[in-house]
Amino acid sequence: MGREKVMAGRPTLDHIGIAVESLDAGVEFYRALGLELDGVEEVAEQGVRVGFLPVGDTRLELLEPTGESSPIARHLARRGPGLHHVCLRVDDIRAAMASLAERGYTLLSDDPQPGAHGCLVCFVHPRSTGGVLLELSQPAGHPHRG
């Protein structure tokens, strides 16, 4: 235990991802609570169109599939709309991935992938986290990016 790497800085809750059939319909519900969309972005690499709704210090991320092969389309087909993932923001995604990998946890990619807003992201398999699809995200423009 003593020789394992210790992460610099604690992660914070970046957002909660919710799979929706339609971004517009999803947003309409949250508008009734006074929440507003803070931009919509298509992330081609993940096959999704995402809309972020700021909530306090965190955000909801509504994910709408852009095609049949999108992981979100497969999620909707299997489980229907609803809670999809939890995202933790980290300062150094490569250090976080190395910390998990050296403890034997399963990452869904070997390298960080491009996410919304120029972030670098990586997903952790639910079997490693106790049933939660966990996304790690390093904000754009961070010194560790590259």
Does 87 bind Zn ion (CB under 5 A)? Our answer is yes
With beta carbons less than 8 A apart as the criterion, state whether 46 and 113 touch: yes
Give how many residues touch Zn ion by CB under 5 A: 4
Q: How far is the CB of 98 from Zn ion (least distance, A)?
A: 21
Beta bridge partners of 91: none
**Cα–Cα distance for residue pair 8/111, rounded to 1 Å:** 19
Per-residue contact track with Zn ion, 3 to 22, x per CB under 5 A?
--------------x-----
User: Residue 122 burial (CB < 10 Å; 0-12/13-18/19+)?
Assistant: buried
Per-residue contact track with Zn ion, 33 to 72, x per CB under 5 A?
----------------------------x-----------
By residue count, the chain amounts to 146
Tell me the chain's radius of gyration from C-alpha atoms: 16
**What totals of helices (H) and strands (E) does the chain contain, helices first?**
4, 8
* Choice between 17 and 47, CB closer to Zn ion: 17
Q: Rounded to the nearest 5°, which phi and psi values hold at 128?
A: -85, -20
Binding segment (CB under 5 A) for Zn ion, from list 27-35, 91-99, 129-137, 138-146: 129-137
Residue nearest to Zn ion (CB): 17
* Choice between 17 and 65, CB closer to Zn ion: 17
**Cα–Cα distance for residue pair 134/129, rounded to 1 Å:** 7
Out of 100, 119, 135, 136, the only residue in the binding site for Zn ion (CB under 5 A) is: 135
Q: How far is the CB of 1 from Zn ion (least distance, A)?
A: 31
Q: Name the residues that contact Zn ion, by CB under 5 A.
A: 17, 61, 87, 135
